């Protein structure tokens, strides 16, 4: 439920994939093992030569270094811009978690409900159930408003309708406390490999 822009993820994968494919094809062409592709290889080589000639055709004077070819300079600038964009990309993954589950503003003051209270009032109640191995909540911002995610892992042999009823009960009490309905997403998670060693029943 985080705020990662997924189109950008896929765009990065696609662009990198296409670039790698182009370089790989060039290397295959350059290997000369495919005689029927030689006209294409010649055309690519000719095109590469003309680009190289254009890149070397203008020079810049840089104090302390002397003359630098324009192509090299363009390459440097492009690499730096790409580097910055990639670092921005890495920094903007994830996010969207928030510490405030609800907020109400009146003339006399503001009231904020902390996300930890959601854990105490919803997840802690569910943890009491013998059907539940673990329960925890997280609050995320979805469409500029907080939404609660409840992650539940069930014990072996759990009665799912009973679990859903207890979730409904916990939510009714939560709604009464908050005063308005915050969107809630219940995720029934599979047990991880470590949970294999847990017992099927809970004894109290």
Partner 1 sequence: MSDNTDVYTRVLRRESHDSRTAPAVVTAAILILLLAGLLVLGIWTLVDAKLGDSIAGFLAGENTTLDAVTLSLAAGIILVLLAIVLIWLAIVPGRRDRRSRSTARLAILADNGVLADVVADRIAERCGLDRGNVSVLIGRSASSVHVTPTSGVPLDSAVVADIATGTLAAVGFESNVRVRIADRGVVS
Q: Which residues bind partner 1 (CB under 8 A)?
A: 1-2, 4, 6, 8-14, 16-21, 23-28, 30-33, 65, 68, 72, 75-76, 79-80, 82-83, 86-87, 89-90, 93-94, 142-143, 145, 147, 154, 156-158, 160-161, 164, 167-168, 171, 175, 181, 183-190
Nearer to partner 1, 51 or 160 (CB): 160
Q: Which two tokens stand for residue 65?
A: 């270094």
From CA 163, how far away is CA 115, in angstroms rounded? 22
Nearer to partner 1, 113 or 150 (CB): 150
Closest distance to partner 1 from the beta carbon of 54 (Å): 19
From CA 55, how far away is CA 52, in angstroms rounded? 5
Nearer to partner 1, 7 or 203 (CB): 7
Closest distance to partner 1 from the beta carbon of 109 (Å): 26
Q: Answer whether 69's CB lies under 8 Å from 75's CB.
A: no
From CA 110, how far away is CA 101, in angstroms rounded? 13
Closest distance to partner 1 from the beta carbon of 72 (Å): 7
Closest distance to partner 1 from the beta carbon of 75 (Å): 7
> At which residue do the structure tokens 């907080």 appear?
146
Closest distance to partner 1 from the beta carbon of 34 (Å): 9
Q: Which two tokens stand for residue 15?
A: 């662009």
Closest distance to partner 1 from the beta carbon of 119 (Å): 16
Task: For 65, list phi and psi in degrees, rounded to 5.
Answer: -120, -20
Q: Answer whether 187's CB lies under 8 Å from 149's CB.
A: yes
Nearer to partner 1, 96 or 117 (CB): 96
C-alpha distances out from residue 137 to 49, 81, 82, 98, Å: 60, 40, 38, 12
Nearer to partner 1, 66 or 109 (CB): 66
Helix and strand element counts for the chain (H, E): 6, 7
Nearer to partner 1, 12 or 177 (CB): 12
């Amino acid at each position: 439920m985080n705020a990662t822009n997924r189109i950008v993820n896929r765009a990065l994968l696609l662009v990198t994939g296409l670039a790698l494919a182009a370089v790989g094809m060039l290397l295959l062409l350059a290997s000369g093992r495919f005689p029927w592709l030689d006209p294409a290889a010649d055309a690519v080589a000719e095109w590469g030569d003309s680009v190289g000639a254009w890149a070397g055709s203008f020079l810049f004077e840089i104090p302390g270094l002397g003359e630098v070819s324009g192509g090299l300079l363009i390459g440097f600038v492009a690499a730096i811009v790409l580097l910055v964009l990639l670092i921005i990309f890495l920094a903007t993954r994830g996010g969207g978690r928030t510490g405030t589950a609800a907020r109400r503003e009146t003339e006399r003051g503001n009231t904020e409900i902390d996300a930890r209270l959601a854990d105490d009032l919803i997840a802690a109640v569910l943890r009491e159930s013998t059907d539940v191995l673990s329960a925890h909540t997280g609050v995320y911002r979805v469409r500029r408003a907080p939404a609660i995610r409840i992650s539940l892992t069930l014990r072996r042999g759990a009665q799912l309708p009973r679990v859903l009823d207890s979730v409904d009960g916990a939510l009714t009490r939560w709604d009464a406390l908050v005063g308005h309905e915050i969107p809630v997403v219940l995720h029934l998670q599979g047990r991880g490999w470590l949970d294999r060693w847990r017992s099927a029943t809970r004894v109290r």
